[in-house]
Amino acid sequence: MLWMMEFTPALNPESEAPLYRQLYQNIAERIRSGSLAKGKRLPATRELAGLLGVNRATISAAYEILENEGLISGHVGRGSFVTGEGGGPSAAIDWGSLLERGEAPSSTPSAEFSKDVISFVMSRPSRALFPLDDFRASCAAVLKRGNLPDILQLGSPSGYEPLRRRLWDDARAQGLAGPGDDLMVTNGCQQALDLAARALLRPGDIVLVEDPVYTGLKNLFLGHGARLSGIPVGPDGMDMAQLERALERERPRLIVVTSNFQNPTGATLPLAARRALLDAARAAGVPVVENDAYGELRYHGEPVPALKQLDEHGGTVLLRSFSKISFPGLRVGWAVGPKPLIDRMRQAKEASDLHTDQLSQAVLLEFLESGSLEAHRARVLRAGAERLAATLDACARSMPAGARWTRPEGGMNVWLRLPAPLDAGDLLPRAQNDGVAYMPGRYFAVSRVDRSALRLSFAGLEPDEIRRGIEILGKIVRGEIASSSRSSEPAPAMV
């Protein structure tokens, strides 16, 4: 049954595909690839549900599909057994070998748990805060407009022009765009990153990224055939000395930096480091992609100018999005940067999907122009400040000596490092069992794996849930430390 332990990491968290489908796919792939051989017994639904911390019905649903497809068969009282490789009639195409090339994204734990699990897994806003009436009012205003047929008709790869113009005017007013710049609308920051990669990367190119970094960013660049070089992130963001060395030695094609409230660490790059980064990048002739999905979510402290604002030499493209400050289900973000790059990204956009959905672009413009976005942001900032404070307080109260965590001034994530010799990944099944879930640090690792670390995404949880969740986690951690100090040599000091 040891293979069962691998189920947890093989489910995909940030995606929200229903868990039963993920489980089903996971098992089906193992059967087709032969790693789960014919005749093997699957764990009982109750057993697997307990291990994964999900409802038994979820497991049953997955097994049912497997059975319908002839991959397993169930025998009352004896359990379910692998019966074949499914797939229907004889396959003409050897999909396995056709698809083998290319880095499949590394899988990550599931975002879906039974109701009793307090999940710090997803870096996303709280749905309880969505201002549904304001959103409805924005939709209603758009639907009444005379230009509704334009919204429904084929649009421009640059974006819905009224939105593009508004974003451009704002960017100009904020000093984020100069005369050599242009702006285009994208499907959130994720697509803007993808388009920048399509415009700039050749397979084998080196990309400098923070280490640890958001899994979706890692997978995206690896999928384009890039080699990633991780620059360690401390409480003050990327390590500038290491960045400068890497620029000299590795001749990277691109630097990608999350300037504010970095995912997963929550770190913000200070002003001096921003200037140093721009100087170093300029000297090396390397463009900077400033990924700033979280910048508008500052709960306290002074805002720091964007790299794009500080860059007087046209080497930076800034990516922003409505997702984190309004509705992630609507995929609208934008990129502001040097015209030649934006031109190429626009061509890549047209090849990718023609243009961004115009209904959502029009609705978000109305949400912005009606003042609803600003009102919503004020509520989100109050709620975020409260949730961040609850997270930091609970860590201080519940975590044992030796634990370390970041103290972000905004965003959605706190990075927690457990005392040695604990491994946050090893602890996860037990944590889920006890009613709390998080993302182990190893999913964010680029060049260095920090097994002690984990990400706490607090924005989607109520302060009370946060306190209870971290209390549970603290108990587990203290228990583990007690038992490890009894059973082994003293752990080395943490540095």
* Inter-residue contact 321 to 334 (CB < 8 Å): yes
Tokens of 376: 């919503």
Contacts of 355 (CB under 8 A, 6+ apart): 154, 155, 156, 157, 158, 159, 185, 349
In sequence order, what are the beta bridge partners of 416?
405, 454
Smaller CB separation from a copy of itself, 102 or 234? 102
Measured from the CB of residue 135, what is the shortest distance to a copy of itself in angstroms?
7
Tell me how far, at minimum, the Cβ of 189 lies from a copy of itself, in Å: 9
Burial of 402 (0-12, 13-18, 19+ CB in 10 A): middle
Contact in structure between 315 and 283 (CB atoms under 8 Å): no
Q: How far is the CB of 131 from a copy of itself (least distance, A)?
A: 10
Q: Pairing relation of β-strands 333-338 and 404-405?
A: unpaired
Question: To the nearest whole angstrom, how small is the minimum distance from the Cβ of residue 315 to a copy of itself?
Answer: 4
Residue 155: CB minimum distance to a copy of itself, A: 5
- Name which of 119 and 398 has its Cβ closer to a copy of itself: 119
> Residue 164 or 467: which CB sits closer to a copy of itself?
164
Largest Cα–Cα separation, the chain = 75
Q: How far is the CB of 314 from a copy of itself (least distance, A)?
A: 5
What is the β-pairing status of strands 288-291 and 316-321? parallel
The least CB distance from residue 440 to a copy of itself, in Å, is: 19
Task: Report the residue number, 125 or 474, with the smaller CB distance to a copy of itself.
Answer: 125
For a copy of itself, the closer CB: 308 or 467: 308
Supply the minimum distance, in Å, between the C-beta of residue 211 and a copy of itself: 19
- Minimum CB distance to a copy of itself, residue 423 (Å): 27
Name the strands in the sheet holding 413-417, side by side, starting at the edge strand that comes first in the sequence: 404-405, 413-417, 453-457, 439-440
CB 220 within 8 A of CB 213: no
CB 258 within 8 A of CB 212: no
What phi, psi does 234 have (nearest 5°)?
Answer: -100, -170
Least separation in angstroms between residue 368's CB and a copy of itself is 16
Nearer to a copy of itself, 102 or 479 (CB): 102
> Which residue, 207 or 403, is less far from a copy of itself as judged by CB?
207
325 vs 33: CA distance, rounded Å = 42
- Reading the block at residue 192, the tokens are 């803007």
Measured from the CB atom, is 16 or 464 closer to a copy of itself?
Answer: 16
| Residue (90 or 488) nearer to a copy of itself, CB | 90
The separation between CA 96 and the C-alpha centre of its own chain, rounded to angstroms, equals: 28
Q: Is the separation of the CB atoms in 178 and 282 below 8 Å?
A: no
Q: Report the length, in residues, of the chain.
A: 495
Which CB sits closer to a copy of itself, 340 or 479?
340
Tell me the Cα Rg of the chain: 24
Buried b (16+ CB within 10 A) or exposed e, 225-241: ebebbbbbbeeebbbbe
> Which residue in the block uniquely carries the two structure tokens 């604990």?
422
Per-residue burial over 185-220, b = 16 or more CB atoms within 10 Å of its CB, e = otherwise: bbbbbbbbbbbbbbbbbeeebbbbbbbbbbbbbbbb
Q: How far is the CB of 400 from a copy of itself (least distance, A)?
A: 33
Residue closer to a copy of itself by CB (options 19, 240) is 19
| Residue 195, phi-psi category: left (phi > 0), alpha (psi -120 to 50), beta (remainder) | alpha
CA–centroid distance for 452 within its chain: 20
Q: Cis check for the bond before 212: say yes or no (omega within 30 of 0).
A: yes
